[in-house]
A and B are shown apart, each in its own frame.
Chain A
Amino acid sequence: MPGIRAGLLLSAILIAVALWTGSFRFAGTSATAFDGPATAQGLAAWEQIYSVLTHPRCINCHTATNYPQQGNERRRHIANIVRGPEGKGVPGLTCAGCHQETNADSTGVPGGHNWHLAPLSMRWQDNDDRPLSSGAVCRALTDRSKNNNLDGPGLLKHHEEEPLVKWAWNPGQRPDGTVRTPPPLTHEEFVAATRRWVEAGTPCPR
């Protein structure tokens, strides 16, 4: 039958591509033994996730340096704010000292529960503040020795429920009254993409 033949052909091509690229691997867990179109779907879903993760609302706190970033232009945070030993700032200049539990729109300071920097193991930029490649970010995200030991379902839950993640879609106003740009997907789309990616075994591009 044509459908099955097409499916087999597609799988064969994908396996061939996989073998050819060599460095292509299933970094994640619960990978199905034979993914085929699911992998392509998973990779496509990953690219959607990547577009969110590298958006300023997310990547500004996933720095490789000892400072956070701010703004759409991702400049270094004002007032020499530094990471501190636990990503929560230093005595006298803790993140939560200024960033309250919720956005302070009248003064233009974003807020969310437990405001802090992602650990260096979850950096999505290089030391020159450039976003890492899609593959590098994917590998960082799925490396359980670096990602707080989250498996696929754990990552999905994180994307769905973590307050600081959800903040990106309610990022509040700047001091000039303009609203901060949210990521390119809605939160629902982001969660859906994550689900697809997880179900595909969290595949990563090269």
Chain B
Amino acid sequence: MAIYQLNVNGERREVTVDASTPLLWVLREDLKMTGTKYGCGISACGACTVHLAGVATRSCIVPISHVGDRAIVTIEGIGQDTVGQAVQNAWVDTDVVQCGYCQSGQIMAAVALLKQTSKPTEQNIEESMGGNLCRCGTYPRIREAIKTAAAQISKGGV
């Protein structure tokens, strides 16, 4: 066990956990932030996606010892960001979710895409969202919502 100082959604948090513990489980069980989800534990599904120093990262495979002082942003905090807000709004407006379990990860991936590519093509969307699994199959609406969010962002509105 060791003490780790973390920067989560702009706040300083401290946890005492085993070094091998994935960031996902530190978030969920030590910090009680359950918005980031466990889907597979082997980075195959993306339900655990967070942003680590601005980079979309699958938290189920990053041991806490590898995090360091990099800023962590989770689904609970992404709404503080204008791109995050636009994506969440677009998701709700487009009625994307079904069971919703994958959507934290989908949103975090979409935000990462839109921060880099403000006018994503169909191919951009497919490649960047290509590793986020949705068992319900909400993919067609995810595409629509990303395009809606992109349009909102470029209009300057949120």
Contacts and interface: CB of A to CB of B under 8 A. Distances in A.
A80 interface: yes
Contacts of B60: 107
Nearest to A91: B116
A81 B124 CA distance: 13
Contact of B61 (A84, A101, A107): A107
A108 B41 CA distance: 10
Interface in B44-98: 44-46, 49, 52, 55-58, 60-63, 66
The 10 residue pairs across chains A and B that have the minimum distance between CB atoms: A106-B20, A79-B131, A91-B116, A80-B130, A92-B128, A92-B112, A107-B61, A92-B109, A109-B61, A90-B127
Given A100-B62, A106-B63, A82 B46 contact: no
Q: Is the interface of B mostly helix, strand, loop or mixed?
A: mixed
B117 interface: yes
B93 to A, nearest CB: 21
Given A80-B131, A84-B127, A107-B61, 16 more contacts: A80-B127, A81-B131, A91-B113, A91-B117, A92-B110, A92-B129, A93-B109, A94-B55, A97-B56, A97-B57, A100-B62, A104-B62, A106-B22, A107-B22, A107-B60, A175-B42
B56 A82 contact: no
A145 B44 CA distance: 37
A98 B42 CA distance: 10
A101 B63 CA distance: 12
Interface string B126-158: 011111010000000000000000000000000
Contacts of A107: 20, 22, 41-42, 60-63
Contact of B56 (A78, A91, A109, A175): A91
Q: Is the interface of A mostly helix, strand, loop or mixed?
A: loop
B43 interface: yes
B13 interface: no
B: contact size bracket: 35 or more
Interface of A: 78-82, 84, 90-94, 96-98, 100-102, 104-109, 111, 175
B55 A96 contact: yes
A44 B45 CA distance: 45
Nearest to B49: A92
Nearest to A99: B61
Pick from A97, A101, A105 the residue with the most CB of B within 10 Å.
A97
Contacts of A106: 19-22, 63
